[in-house]
Structure 1
């Protein structure tokens, strides 16, 4: 075999390597862009999750105070109902006494 054959094989293999490198270079650029976009999306999602968690924590802090307020209003309502029942009994008694007179 002649030296030119080896040179042609070397040139052809180098051209193949150049083609493979070009294809990989383009893919790596695309992968890099996709990775950067994914990181950006993950950062945005993380911020949204943090905001939601902070809102939930604030709402959880409000729940005990609201529960106490509801219990106080319930007790006040029960007191008002008891007063109304007492007034009804007094009214019945007054009506009964008035009829007797």
Structure 2
């Protein structure tokens, strides 16, 4: 897969599979705004790690786009919470 350690490759693949599984439940029953924000944060983080592991700088824009989208959704959720008097969204989960 790449020039990184084989164990790292397996971990990235396992995280990718988990992320794809979570995508199926993104808007499903039981999903919450916080769980959707956590998913978007995980997606951006994993994309950055995949780009770093593969050394494919031409794909870094995909990771940046995912991070920008996550930040946009978080800002909108925060604004809506303030408007409605609800608690703010959970803090960003960095990996």
TM-score > 0.5, shorter chain as reference: no
- Which one has the bigger helix percentage? 1
TM range (shorter): 0.3 to 0.5
Q: TM-score, normalised to structure 1's length? A: 0.30
Which has the greater radius of gyration?
Answer: 1
